[in-house]
C-alpha cells in the first residue's frame, strides 16, 4: 500500500523516520531483510532526500545498514551484540542512578511500585509490548531525574533495539524474577545505599535472562 506524507521537508523527514520505526516494531521490516531504496521511494510516495535522512538516522542508531548499490539491510541482533547491549545498559543505567540518587524521594519510589504492579498485570495478559513500555517507565522514574540527555538518548535507543523487533514473550518465571528484582531495587534505594543499588542494577538486574550475576548483593 502506498503511504504519502503531505508535510514540509523537515517534518516529512521526521514522519518518515517514525513510520519506518513503526514498521520495525510491528515486524513489517524484519531483521536480515534487504530493502530497495527505490522501492521504498515508490511505496512511500516521497523523494529520496527525506527517506535517506530518515535511514541515516536509523543507521546511526544501529537499526539498519546501507549497502552500496543495493539499498539497506535491517540489522539482526546477534547473541554477542545482545550481550554487549545489556552490558552497556547496565553501566549507563547504574551510573545515572548514582548521579540522581539524592533526588529520589518517596513520590518516585511509590511511582516505581505502581509501575511494577502494572507490569505484572500486563504480563499476565500476555501484552508484552505494554510490559516493556512499562519496564522503561519503571527505570525512567529515576533516569529522567538526570540532566544528561546524551546518556538518556543512548539508553532509550539501546532498549528499543533489544525489545523493538518481532514478538516479545517471556516465561512467567522470568516475569516474576523481573518483578522481584524491581522490588529489590526499590528496597535498596529506600535503605539509602546508592553504591549497593547501582551495583545491583549493573551486575544482577541488567543481564541476559538466566545469565549468572557477577555478585550477590545482600
Q: Residue 25 sits in which domain range?
A: 9-74
Do 69 and 89 fall within a single domain? no
| Beta-ladder partners of 66 | 72
Do 70 and 96 fall within a single domain? no
Do 101 and 195 fall within a single domain? yes
- The predicted model gives 108-128 an average pLDDT of 96
What pLDDT score does 13 carry? 85
pLDDT tens digits for range 7-43 = 555 578 889 999 998 888 888 888 899 999 999 999 8
CATH of the domain at 142: 1.20.120.530
Q: How far does Cα 207 stand from its chain's mean position?
A: 14
pLDDT tens digits for range 171-199 = 888 899 999 999 999 999 999 999 999 99
Torsion of CA 177, 84, 189, 196, to 10 degrees: 100
Residue 218 lies in a domain: no
The total domain count for the chain is 2
Do 51 and 104 fall within a single domain? no
Residue 159 lies in a domain: yes
What pLDDT score does 211 carry? 57
Share of the chain above pLDDT 90, in %: 56
Grid coordinates of 211: 545469565
Q: Could you tell me if residue 78 is left (phi over 0), alpha (psi between -120 and 50 degrees) or otherwise beta?
A: beta
In whole angstroms, what is the distance from residue 48 CA to residue 129 CA?
32
- Select from 49, 74, 99 the last residue of a domain: 74
pLDDT at 166 over 60: no
**Among 95-99, 158-162, 206-210, whose mean pLDDT is lowest?**
206-210
pLDDT tens digits for range 52-85 = 999 999 999 999 999 887 889 999 888 888 899 9
Do 74 and 35 meet the contact criterion of CB atoms below 8 Å apart?
yes
Sign of the C-alpha dihedral computed for residues 111, 112, 113 and 119 taken in this order:
positive
CATH of the domain at 25: 1.10.10.10
Average pLDDT, the chain: 88
What pLDDT score does 1 carry? 44
Do 194 and 94 meet the contact criterion of CB atoms below 8 Å apart?
no
Amino acid at each position: 500500500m502506498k503511504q504519502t506524507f503531505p508535510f514540509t521537508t523537515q517534518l516529512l523527514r521526521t514522519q518518515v523516520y517514525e513510520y519506518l520505526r513503526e514498521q520495525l516494531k510491528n515486524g513489517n521490516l524484519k531483521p536480515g531483510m534487504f530493502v530497495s531504496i527505490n522501492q521504498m521511494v515508490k511505496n512511500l510516495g516521497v523523494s529520496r532526500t527525506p527517506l535517506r535522512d530518515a535511514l541515516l538516522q536509523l543507521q546511526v542508531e544501529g537499526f539498519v545498514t546501507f549497502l552500496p548499490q543495493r539499498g539497506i539491510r535491517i540489522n539482526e541482533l546477534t547473541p554477542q551484540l545482545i550481550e554487549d547491549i545489556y552490558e552497556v545498559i547496565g553501566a549507563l543505567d547504574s551510573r545515572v542512578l548514582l548521579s540522581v540518587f539524592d533526588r529520589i524521594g518517596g513520590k518516585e519510589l511509590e511511582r516505581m511500585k505502581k509501575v511494577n504492579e502494572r507490569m505484572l498485570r500486563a504480563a499476565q495478559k500476555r501484552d508484552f509490548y505494554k510490559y516493556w513500555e512499562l519496564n522503561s517507565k519503571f527505570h525512567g522514574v529515576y533516569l529522567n531525574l538526570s540532566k544528561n540527555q546524551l546518556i538518556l538518548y543512548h539508553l532509550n535507543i539501546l532498549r528499543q533495539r533489544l525489545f523493538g523487533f518481532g514478538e516479545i514473550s517471556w516465561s512467567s518465571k522470568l516475569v516474576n524474577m523481573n518483578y522481584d528484582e524491581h522490588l529489590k531495587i526499590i528496597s535498596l534505594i529506600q535503605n539509602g545505599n546508592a553504591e549497593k543499588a547501582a551495583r545491583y542494577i549493573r551486575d544482577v538486574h541488567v543481564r541476559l535472562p538466566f545469565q549468572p550475576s557477577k555478585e550477590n548483593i545482600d
